A and B are shown apart, each in its own frame.
Chain A
Amino acid sequence: MDEEKNVIELKGIVKDYGDFRLDKVSFSVPQGCVCGFIGQNGAGKTTTIQIMLDSIKRDEGEVFLFGESIDGKSEILKQDIGVVFDEMGFHDFLTGKDINIIMKNIYRDWDEELFFDYMKRFSLPIKKKCGSFSRGMRMKLQIATALSHHANLLIMDEPTSGLDPIVRSEMLQIFREYVVEEDHTILLSSHITSDLEKIADMVVFINGGKILLSGYKDEILQSHGIVKCKKDEVKTIDSEYIVYREISSFGAEVLVTDRSKIHKKCPDLLVEAPSLEDIMIYYVKKNGRL
């Protein structure tokens, strides 16, 4: 059996800014996987991505991309990475044609034909200045650029924030197509968990610079549960499974890590399947940041 190859591997990343600290961030993303990187604003997603891209120096830890340490090799490794940020990054006076000229002199494997195909597919005018583009068009332009040098890893930092549901859906479709072809990998940072629920294979939760939870999305969703019960029934739940309990005058809601075990032990309790958003909120509450 083939060993699972990690495209992204972070080991004990520490970055201290004084008022904010990335605290021993470790996770890995296997090849061919869509990994949702979830966290509220200011949780440390962008900082982690920038460390991954070697644009920020880390204080401690190691970063491996495609199985190789980025130290001294980031320039070569980045040839194989497509990056999409929340802002377009291109100057308003540039046209699609201009961007093509710039990019073909930056990326070794830049595919001009593929770029113009994407532009056509996304209905982006080639000769129009991108300053006149809508937010959705700007994002599509970034995606077209990120995909046109045959990158094997796509790193996206909040690409769908601020977009209307139709454009978001279109973009998710593009990401799906990207991962279907060959062994492409995506790291998708977002706080819009509904998008990640649709597309992600695995998720990594970050909060206050610490990784709270990481693993395969289906396993996380299947194992976790929200117990809805009366206040006095909370005591019957084994505390080792409790992530966070919220008690109000009407009753209690408890997020548990093992839904099936709770169901077996307390069959009378109502245990519901949580959404990624529920899980994220409860974990954040547990860490006292909400």
Chain B
Amino acid sequence: MKGLMIKDMFSLRKQMRFFIFVVVSVFVISIMFVLSVKFGNVGRFLEKIQTDENAVSEKITIGLTKLVMLFCLFIPIAFTGNVTEIFLDDYNASFEKLMSAFPISVRKRVAARYISGISFTLTGLCISLILSLVLSLLTTIINFDEYMRYLICFTGVILIYLSILIVLAYIIGGEKTGLVGTLPVIIMVLTGILIKYKTFYKMLFLNGDILLIFFQTAEKIQHMSVTIFVISLLCLILSYILSVFVTERKGGTI
């Protein structure tokens, strides 16, 4: 099992240039945003809407300044997305066939993929955390405690994404990277709409202030971080059981 995880790490190494590009880009954009809030156009825009003296503007102002935290969360997304690359690499190399000769059970094989996926996500989250720590030293926009709450919440969301992604890769085939990477997003958005259909209805059809509703929702979500994280763990367990079942069944087809 450890060998398979190491093999997945080599895949991560292959993508190193892409990851460096993402981290540097996010860092530069975040710095630019911070500078713009202090001295640039964003700052001037914020000053302008604050003079409107209404509660809505105030909430938008707070929300906008928090956008920098969202930038940092692009990093774990990039790392988690790499799981589709591992499936594709395995398919291109016919590694599944070779793996069938290894003294490793199907359960362990599937578990290795999940552990690799979680490790990728955690690596991305750690880098994101370091970056936000650096940014919080440069500006007062980022409140580190608040960021941690968002981070836990986001970890939960991304683990739910990962659990859907892996099981789909086993069901429809890891070589269909586009579908495997996109379907979980569609599933999650649709689920979100079904759960919060009133909010979405307000946003889309009652001319609600989209930006305001978005920031309000983000504000609420950060207080549900633990619940989302627990749900994500349950999703991972369920996804693992389903993946093992599918892989064992697929062993019997040509």
Q: Which residues of A contact B (CB under 8 A)?
A: 17, 20, 47, 50, 53, 55-57, 74-79, 81, 83, 85, 87-94, 98, 101-108, 155
Kindly state whether residue B211 has any CB partner on chain A within 8 Å. Answer: no
The listed residue (B10, B98, B99, B104) touching A98 by CB distance below 8 A is B10
14 contacts between A and B (CB under 8 A): A53-B100, A53-B101, A56-B252, A78-B103, A81-B101, A85-B94, A89-B95, A89-B99, A91-B10, A91-B11, A91-B89, A101-B6, A106-B103, A107-B103
Q: By the criterion CB–CB under 8 Å, are B4 and A106 in contact?
A: yes
A94 to B104 Cα, complex, angstroms: 20
Q: Known contacts A87-B97, A89-B94; is A102 also within 8 Å of B254 by CB?
A: no
For chain B, the bracket of interface size reads: 20 to 34
Question: B interface, by DSSP: helix, strand, loop or mixed?
Answer: helix
Q: Which residues of B contact A (CB under 8 A)?
A: 2-4, 6-7, 10-11, 14, 89-90, 92-95, 97-105, 248, 251-254
Q: By the criterion CB–CB under 8 Å, are B251 and A55 in contact?
A: yes
Q: By the criterion CB–CB under 8 Å, are A90 and B95 in contact?
A: yes
Q: Known contacts A75-B103, A75-B104, A93-B10; is A85 also within 8 Å of B95 by CB?
A: no
Q: By the criterion CB–CB under 8 Å, are B4 and A57 in contact?
A: no
A20 vs chain B, min Cβ distance (A): 7
Interface centre among B3, B14, B95, B99 (most CB of A within 10 A): B3
5 smallest CB-CB distances across A and B, nearest first, come from A89-B98, A55-B100, A83-B101, A105-B3, A106-B3
Chain A residues with CB under 8 Å of B14's CB are: 93
Chain B residues with CB under 8 Å of A83's CB are: 98, 101
Chain B residues with CB under 8 Å of A102's CB are: 3-4, 6-7, 10
List the B residue with the shortest CB-CB distance to A18. Answer: B254
The listed residue (B2, B97, B100) touching A105 by CB distance below 8 A is B2
Chain A residues with CB under 8 Å of B6's CB are: 101-102, 105
Q: By the criterion CB–CB under 8 Å, are A89 and B105 in contact?
A: no
Q: By the criterion CB–CB under 8 Å, are A89 and B93 in contact?
A: yes
Chain B residues with CB under 8 Å of A91's CB are: 7, 10-11, 89-90, 92-93, 95
Q: By the criterion CB–CB under 8 Å, are A92 and B103 in contact?
A: no
B98 vs chain A, min Cβ distance (A): 3
A17 to B101 Cα, complex, angstroms: 22
List the B residue with the shortest CB-CB distance to A19. Answer: B254
Q: By the criterion CB–CB under 8 Å, are B10 and A90 in contact?
A: no
Q: Known contacts A53-B100, A106-B102; is A94 also within 8 Å of B10 by CB?
A: yes
B160 vs chain A, min Cβ distance (A): 29
Chain A residues with CB under 8 Å of B90's CB are: 91
Q: By the criterion CB–CB under 8 Å, are A50 and B98 in contact?
A: no
Q: By the criterion CB–CB under 8 Å, are B101 and A55 in contact?
A: yes
List the B residue with the shortest CB-CB distance to A146. Answer: B101
Chain A residues with CB under 8 Å of B11's CB are: 91, 93
Q: By the criterion CB–CB under 8 Å, are B93 and A78 in contact?
A: no
Q: By the criterion CB–CB under 8 Å, are B93 and A57 in contact?
A: no
Q: By the criterion CB–CB under 8 Å, are B3 and A103 in contact?
A: yes
List the B residue with the shortest CB-CB distance to A47. Answer: B254
A23 vs chain B, min Cβ distance (A): 16
Q: By the criterion CB–CB under 8 Å, are A75 and B252 in contact?
A: no
Chain B residues with CB under 8 Å of A53's CB are: 100-101
A155 to B100 Cα, complex, angstroms: 13
List the A residue with the shortest CB-CB distance to B95. Answer: A89
List the A residue with the shortest CB-CB distance to B15. Answer: A93
Chain A residues with CB under 8 Å of B100's CB are: 50, 53, 55
Q: By the criterion CB–CB under 8 Å, are A88 and B93 in contact?
A: yes
Chain B residues with CB under 8 Å of A94's CB are: 7, 10
A89 to B91 Cα, complex, angstroms: 9
Chain B residues with CB under 8 Å of A76's CB are: 103
A122 vs chain B, min Cβ distance (A): 18
